Structure 1
Amino acid sequence: MAIRMQVGKLIAFFFRSLLWSLNLLLALYTCLAYWLLYSLQTEHWLAGMLMISIPVAWFLNFITVFLWLPTRPWRSWLSGITLLIGILLFGSRTFVWHQPAESANQGTTLKVFSYNVQSFGEMEYIGLPQSSPRIRRTLNYIVRYDAPIKCFQEFYSSTNLPDYDIVGRFQKAGYSYSAFLYPELAHVANGDIGVAIFSIYPIIESGRELFEMHNGVVWADVKVGNDTIRIINVHLHSMGIRVGKVLRQKQIKGVQHETRGVLSALRTGFIDRNEEVRKVEEYIKNSPYPVIVTGDYNDTPYSVVYERLHRILPNAFEEAGRGFGFSYNRLPGFIRIDNQFHDPKLPVLNFETINYIKYSDHYPIVGTYLVK
């Protein structure tokens, strides 16, 4: 009996020691990720992988706190302090709860609606005599939504069907001004326009830059009363995360193949987006007017892209949003990759992620700003 107790103690000691060693490594890993994001000492893609894993590291630290509480409560402080540091540094990027502010008649309120529409299900439409009810609901929603400025990514328009002549429908709805990544495709039978801006207010000047395929930036100087603001709509390189494909594999070889594909796409995405965000920064810095930068960044709040923009402009979700603001309507789901950044001269009154609209693989986002 005594020998059995001694063996039990030895096994318990071994596992406690192993857990403590793993806990130390986890704390060091988490702090390294904090330092990389806070300092941006390097923008290598491997550093990017560490940065975006911060929420996963938080979850593991949280679990570790509760594992230690019953047996060695003092050891739970390590992960507890690590979590506290992360909340102090990046908590507002993760969860906020603000109430909508009032304009108090200090100026004009301006809503900017942004939505990656996944080409309105164009692949479902090709070869069919009419669009589906789901697509018609999507199109009706985006045309009728009450916002004077609307920005889209993966925008598609076609003159083949009245439903899909979306450029024409916006013009009839009063959006007389527009700017496109591919303006020559606005009135054709198969118009993969990509990035698009529609405005009720006059656009006095606009420009565009193609990154690749349908990724790029479109900007428009919009006249709002006596003021002019620059709307910058961006769609950066895809994240390449297709978790669903990995989970659907029935054999280990298929899982390995898809996992390698995801990792390769992540690496390419980190490299390309880091280059693309520098071009967006130039449009911000060279603007003679206050700016609102919206779109699909394909990167989380714990990334080089987000950090670089955050250093020059406030984020609308952090200042006026509610909840976690998750904007991706596919697995893994718990990520926010659609954002709006704004000039401090255009204070944000409210920001909403419309997560009950599930027509696309993204949710729409809308920010309400005060143009003084």
Structure 2
Amino acid sequence: MRTRIGLFIGYFFRSLFWSFNLLLVLYTSLAYWLLQELPVEHWLAGMVMISLPLMWVINFVFVIFWLISRPWRGWLSGFILIIGIWLFGPRTFVWHKATEPSSQYKPIRVWSYNLQSFGLDNLEERRQSSPRIRRTMTFLLRQDAPIKCFQEFYNSTAIADYDLLQRLKRSGYSYSALLHPEYAREKEAPVGVAIFSIYPIVSSGSEPFYGVNGIVWANIKIGSDTIRVINVHLHSMGIRVGRVLRQEEIAGVKQETRGVLSALRTGFIQRKEQVRRVEHYIRESPYPVIVTGDFNDTPYSVVYERMRRTLPNSFEDAGRGFGFTYNRAPGFIRIDHQFHDPKLPALNFETINYIRYSDHYPIMGTYGVK
């Protein structure tokens, strides 16, 4: 009798897991279809698409489970994983070597970094120079890139160390385009999105969304050629996984989880509209375009797919590894991106993940300009 009961329990749980496995495969297939075809851009579709990496992990767990108990059943999740690698592998992991430019191209580096306003949330730090902020600003000034783009850029004329606008200008970055130029000479200035260049900016423009989020573009003359650099900071994701994990009671976990889901929904809706404005500035540009910035969306999203259909992604063309750019929990996401015109081939792309001054890592693309 005990043997029969044990067999029945084993059969029940295997059947239950198999049913879950079938539902998981159907869900993963739906995410593939939504991402590949982009038939709808509803926020619910965005939720499904952004969960794709998690679905891959669960499918892999099912493969291991079935290999131990019923090997022939492991083929289903294994097959869906192979399809995912074929369809979306370059979005996730690549390994390219840096390319040397031909004689007709000049290599130009474009640096992008979300500074998190230098972490100056503490009022005391704003009123006096701190070693941490000095190290951060010195690092930014020493980076060898003729075009530097920032999000959540902060400037203060009250303290010389924090007057980064003047320090960049003295370092050779004589040209700039700012989201909020009216704040540039204030004592405490959340300038937001900013572009700095050692090459002449012949024209520029901006479009604020709210606060420090928005778009700044600049037409930059390099020798006898001109390119347009578009720096963006789209609506924040609002994901605060750390807050959920720090909760000790279930009520707190539920409340924080609801807050995360609500922020995700709002973010999907806002960024879907904002990326259309980015596409507008790409279409109306008379020059080849490089788009960089904090998109606050992963490679499995409506925003990324729309941009990818407009311009090639620099990480996919010239990056290495996974390229994760977020320096907070969950940590394994890439939300800072660069896209480039085919006329400006990507020679190299780096995620500088040993720099932890902000909640983002800096990214830098190298492009060939004739």
TM-score normalized by structure 2? 0.99
Q: What is the DSSP-based 3-state SS (H/G/I as helix, E as strand, rest coil) of the residue aligned with 1:210?
A: strand
2: CA distance, partners of 1:139 / 1:94: 31
**Does 1:239 pair with 2:237?**
yes
Match of residue 123, structure 1, among 114, 121, 124: 121
Match of residue 111, structure 1, among 109, 112, 117: 109
Residue 62 of structure 2: aligned partner: 64
2: CA distance, partners of 1:152 / 1:121: 14
Residue 305 of structure 2: aligned partner: 307
Tell me by how many angstroms 1:127 deviates.
6.2
Q: Deviations over 1:20-43 (max 9, x none)?
A: 000000000000011111111111
2: CA distance, partners of 1:128 / 1:156: 11
1: CA distance, partners of 2:149 / 2:262: 30
Deviates more, 1:121-130 or 1:172-181: 121-130
Assess if the C-alpha contact under 8 Å between 1:313 and 1:344 holds in 2.
yes
Please, which runs of 5 or more residues in structure 2 have no aligned partner? Answer: none
Q: What is the DSSP-based 3-state SS (H/G/I as helix, E as strand, rest coil) of the residue aligned with 2:159?
A: coil
Q: What is the DSSP-based 3-state SS (H/G/I as helix, E as strand, rest coil) of the residue aligned with 2:69?
A: coil
With over 3 angstroms needed to count, the CA separation of the structure-2 counterparts of 1:23 and 1:124, relative to structure 1, is same
Residue 40 of structure 2: aligned partner: 42
With over 3 angstroms needed to count, the CA separation of the structure-2 counterparts of 1:28 and 1:120, relative to structure 1, is same
2: CA distance, partners of 1:127 / 1:84: 51
Assess if the C-alpha contact under 8 Å between 1:125 and 1:132 holds in 2.
no
2: CA distance, partners of 1:181 / 1:279: 15
Residue 225 of structure 1: aligned partner: 223
With over 3 angstroms needed to count, the CA separation of the structure-2 counterparts of 1:331 and 1:147, relative to structure 1, is same
Assess if the C-alpha contact under 8 Å between 1:125 and 1:131 holds in 2.
no
Q: What is the DSSP-based 3-state SS (H/G/I as helix, E as strand, rest coil) of the residue aligned with 1:156?
A: strand
Q: What is the DSSP-based 3-state SS (H/G/I as helix, E as strand, rest coil) of the residue aligned with 1:93?
A: helix
Amino acid corresponding to residue 71 of structure 2 in structure 1: P
1:102-251 pair list within 5 angstroms: 102-124=100-122, 126=124, 129-251=127-249
Tell me by how many angstroms 1:128 deviates.
5.3
Note the aligned Cα RMSD (angstroms): 0.9
Amino acid corresponding to residue 208 of structure 1 in structure 2: S
2: CA distance, partners of 1:146 / 1:108: 15
Assess if the C-alpha contact under 8 Å between 2:120 and 2:126 holds in 1.
no
With over 3 angstroms needed to count, the CA separation of the structure-2 counterparts of 1:277 and 1:14, relative to structure 1, is same
1: CA distance, partners of 2:366 / 2:160: 31
Assess if the C-alpha contact under 8 Å between 2:201 and 2:220 holds in 1.
yes
Assess if the C-alpha contact under 8 Å between 1:157 and 1:186 holds in 2.
yes
Tell me by how many angstroms 1:105 deviates.
2.4
Deviates more, 1:36-45 or 1:200-209: 36-45
Match of residue 98, structure 1, among 96, 99, 103: 96
Residue 297 of structure 1: aligned partner: 295
Amino acid corresponding to residue 87 of structure 1 in structure 2: I
Residue 86 of structure 1: aligned partner: 84
Amino acid corresponding to residue 65 of structure 1 in structure 2: V
**Does 1:8 pair with 2:6?**
yes
Q: Alignment identity in percent?
A: 67
Q: What is the DSSP-based 3-state SS (H/G/I as helix, E as strand, rest coil) of the residue aligned with 1:222?
A: strand
Aligned length: 370
Residue 286 of structure 2: aligned partner: 288
Runs of 4 or more above 4 Å deviation: 125-129
1: CA distance, partners of 2:332 / 2:213: 23
1: CA distance, partners of 2:271 / 2:63: 35
TM-score normalized by structure 1? 0.98
